[in-house]
Amino acid sequence: MQLVLKKRSPKVTHPRRIGSDYLLSGLLHCGKCGAAMVGCSAKSSQFSYYSCHRKRSSGQDLCDAKMLNRDRLDAYVIERLKTRILTEENLTELVRLTNEEIGRERGEYEERVAAVNGQLEKLRRRLDRLYDALETGKLEPEDLAPRIRELRARADSLERTRADLVDTTDNSRAYRLEASVI
């Protein structure tokens, strides 16, 4: 138990990162004393509240704030978020910004693939020239073999890089959003 408490300590893990059944955990502060508001339950967990942590831990003498009904407060905050933040205008702007980011990332991906393809093409041309020199007898096989092995290894590495780029992008591909879905 001590290990769990130590692990959940605010010095180790920020309160917002710790799972909680209380939506506003780590976000609310007491209006009377400024201490954090924590979730608590009453009547065998039938009712849930937010309560001043200072009041709960040190007693009523330090803070006389009342407990707040969790369900009503959570519903109020969610409704305010919907009406103030999740407006059609804000969501449309969010879609626009998201699509811009998707376009930027797609462009960066295409640039990386094009760069790898360009390098591969140069390597293939070099290999072709070496094969031509070998076939025409201008150079001896023992002279070319190490260089051909080196160029093939680099080409194989670039092929793997390109395949990794394609796999990564295919697995995490983000699709443009349509504002009409909102």
Q: Residue written as tokens 């959940």? A: 8
Q: What is the per-residue pLDDT across 104-147, written as a single tens digit (0 to 9) for each? A: 888 888 899 999 999 999 999 999 998 898 888 888 888 888 88
One-letter amino acid at 164 equals D
pLDDT reported for residue 116: 93
Distance between CA atoms of residues 170 and 163, nearest Å = 10
Please answer whether residues 70 and 88 qualify as being in contact, where contact means their C-beta atoms are separated by less than 8 angstroms. no
pLDDT band at 150 (very low <50, low <70, confident <90, very high): very high
Q: Tally Cβ neighbours within 10 Å of residue 145.
A: 12
Please answer whether residues 33 and 62 qualify as being in contact, where contact means their C-beta atoms are separated by less than 8 angstroms. yes
pLDDT band at 18 (very low <50, low <70, confident <90, very high): low
List phi, psi (to 5°) of 171: -75, -25
* 61-97: burial string, b at 16+ Cβ within 10 Å, e else: eebebebbebeebbeeeeeeeeeeeeeeeeeeeebee
How many angstroms separate the Cα of 137 from the Cα of each of 20, 102, 114, 125? 76, 52, 35, 18
Least trusted range by pLDDT, from 9-13, 36-40, 83-87: 9-13
pLDDT band at 154 (very low <50, low <70, confident <90, very high): very high
pLDDT band at 42 (very low <50, low <70, confident <90, very high): confident
pLDDT band at 155 (very low <50, low <70, confident <90, very high): very high
Residue 47 three-state SS: strand
Show Cβ contacts of residue 119 under 8 Å, excluding neighbours closer than 6 positions: 158
Average pLDDT across the chain, whole number: 84
What residues pair up with 40 in beta bridges, in sequence order?
Answer: 49
DSSP 107: H
Residue 181 has pLDDT above 60, yes or no: no
- Region 80-88 average pLDDT: 89
pLDDT reported for residue 46: 85
